[in-house]
Amino acid sequence: MANTPGQGAELTDRRIIVAVTGGIAAYKTCTLVSRLAQQGAQVTVMMSEAATRFVGPTTFQSLSGRPVFTSLWQAEDRPDAQHIGLAQSTELVIIAPATANILAKIAHGICDDLISTVISALPRDTPVLLAPAMNAEMWANPITQDNLAKIKDILGYHTVGPESGWQACRTAGEGRMSEPDQIYQAAAELLA
């Protein structure tokens, strides 16, 4: 991927968490993590248990060059609670794919895994970028739309996508995760 003018330098040493939740679009997140790391960002990947069914943690560890967090109980390098340390040490969180499940957890303050707990512990001024990805019917569900509206209105989180197109369920419709380059560009703009 070629750099466009101004890209790359603004991400050098920026601390970014990429949270990967359980959707088939997780394979696209590999490209996003690689691109962020190539631009000098310090990328920490968190994965839900469901996400590990689509892409293995070793893939993200290789792409980011850093440990991958998959459990609330994992303690890598901190004497404090890992979720608090992760939340306080990041400049941006990207959730890609952002499934209907994680949107519901965020909207209702449910903290039952690493990703939802870190999100709830973020300082209020930490930007969060959601890249929704789900089946068109799930995306159109009024509860999903209400959850997303609540997240945007109350927490001020940002979104990129979703797009319309072919989906893993063998239908076409809105709900396809944005391409890694679109997510990268939205992230770079939030950190500018």
pTM to 2 decimals? 0.90
* C-alpha closest to that of 104 among 142, 68, 135: 142
The reported pLDDT for the residue numbered 88 is 80
CA 6 to chain centre: 23
Could you confirm whether 30 is annotated as catalytic? no
- The pLDDT profile of the chain, 192 residues, written as one tens digit per residue, is 344 434 445 799 999 999 999 999 999 999 999 999 999 999 999 999 999 999 999 999 999 999 999 987 666 655 555 667 787 889 999 999 999 999 999 999 999 999 999 999 999 999 999 999 999 999 999 999 999 999 999 999 999 999 887 677 778 778 899 999 999 999 999 998
Q: Which domains does the chain have, with CATH numbers?
A: 9-191 (3.40.50.1950)
CA 91 to chain centre: 13
The contacts found for 72-77 with CB under 8 angstroms, 24 or more apart, are 72/113, 72/114, 72/117, 74/114
Query: Beta-carbon neighbour count of residue 92 at 10 Å?
Result: 21
Tens of pLDDT, residues 109-162: 999 999 999 999 999 999 999 999 999 999 999 999 999 999 999 999 999 999
For residue 67 the two structure tokens come to 């440990």
Query: Looking at 50, 72, 111, 169, which residue is catalytic?
Result: 169
